Amino acid sequence: MDFNLSEERSLLSATTDRFLQSAASAQKIIKGGGENLANDAGFWQEASELGLIEALLPVDAGGLGGDGLDLALIFELLGKHLVNAPFLSTAILGAMPLWLQDTQKFAALLSDVGAGKVKLALAISEADSRYDIQFAATEAKPVDTENYQLSGHKAVVLGAGDADQLVVSAKMAEGNGDIGLFLVDGKAQGLKIRSYQTIDAQLAGDIWLEDVPAVCISEKGSDIISQTAAAGALCLSAEAVGLMDVMKDATIEYVKTRKQFGRSIGSFQVIQHRLVDLLMEIEQTRSATMLAAAHLFSKPDMRDKHISAAKNLAGRIGKLVAEETIQLHGGIAMCWETDIAHYAKRLTMIDHYLGDSDYHLKQMMRLSA
């Protein structure tokens, strides 16, 4: 099998890497006190002009790519440069339910998303849902065939505070046994959002809805939610690979210069063994993520098995890489003034989005039985 990138993807990778190198870095998170790129309108506009947002959307939705390999390639680079702009919440979690359901109906909105004019957020998690993406206590009451009123509470919604439109899951009042998906204006009457920053410098928010007007995306949204969550988990896994690569390389450089007992600590065999172990684990995660990317739009059981395998490794190996690289750096790695401290925080928190390593291990075992 040929694992080399096509000419088009090689060009996309090189262009994206150069842009992010100049526009984003861990130092902006350090110096900006967390305000950085999460709500930087200038950066978001530049990214849209480069076609970076459109590259995450399929051609039918007005994009330039949007398949699993495109998503994995871009999010690995976003991880490499520690970008916390809302690519995941807008272009993946927010936009995918729209184009999976009806690209024609939402063509204008998707075009604005690709142009960087509109930001989206997916509100499916609730206080009691844990990692059950199909759980919804929020209720939808019909007003007419397309319009509804939503009431309920959503928790830890990525990008909520900065979103122009929200995609919200809710149980149907008529009780058809499925979960509906609805589009809600970010400034709708009856909508209250408490925005905050997570420990890894992501913008998130809790949402309260009280008879909020909403347009129905789908009355039967379970399959759409599953496909969207799978894409989100893939993107997080790829981002983790990018983060781990940087942390591993930074640690190799550090042990070459840090001296103890009159020699660099990188010359000690036990340090070399630990770094080799890290390299092998990272490459295993990369391989699992590539395989998951190839199966993103396969049949649900096959898709979910490979996605869970990748996300389990990203969480488990991510924790190992964070611990080992911090230990090999010593106490300096815990200081905000160093890049690696921020990479470690993001890498650790990735495990808790869209299912942690234990959850995905159980899913993988169930689907492999």
CATH class of 224-368: mainly alpha
Amino acid at 360: H
Domain with CATH 2.40.110.10 in the chain: 120-220
Question: Architecture of domain 7-114 in CATH?
Answer: Orthogonal Bundle (1.10)
User: Can you tell me the distance from the alpha carbon of 261 to that of 112, in angstroms, rounded to the nearest whole number?
Assistant: 60
pLDDT at position 259 over 80: no
User: Can you tell me the distance from the alpha carbon of 189 to that of 212, in angstroms, rounded to the nearest whole number?
Assistant: 6
Q: Give CA separation, 143 vs 106, 107, 150, 183, 211, in Å.
A: 21, 24, 10, 14, 11
pLDDT band of residue 263 (cuts 50, 70, 90) is: confident
Question: Architecture of domain 120-220 in CATH?
Answer: Beta Barrel (2.40)
Name the nearest CA neighbour of 238 among 1, 369, 73.
73
pLDDT (tens digit, 9 = 90+) per residue, 336-366? Answer: 778 888 899 999 999 999 999 999 999 999 9
Nearby residues of 298 by Cβ (< 8 Å), 6 or more positions away:
306
pLDDT (tens digit, 9 = 90+) per residue, 44-67? Answer: 899 999 999 999 999 888 888 888
Q: Quick one: pLDDT at residue 175?
A: 63
User: Can you tell me the distance from the alpha carbon of 34 to that of 45, in angstroms, rounded to the nearest whole number?
Assistant: 19
Task: State the burial class of residue 369 (Cβ atoms within 10 Å of its Cβ: 0-12, 13-18, 19+).
Answer: exposed
Q: Quick one: pLDDT at residue 333?
A: 81
More confident residue, 177 or 46: 46
User: Can you tell me the distance from the alpha carbon of 199 to that of 349, in angstroms, rounded to the nearest whole number?
Assistant: 8
- pTM for this predicted structure: 0.93
Domain with CATH 1.10.540.10 in the chain: 7-114
pLDDT at position 30 over 60: no
User: Per mean pLDDT, which range of 74-78, 140-144, 324-328 is the poorest?
Assistant: 140-144
Domain with CATH 1.20.140.10 in the chain: 224-368
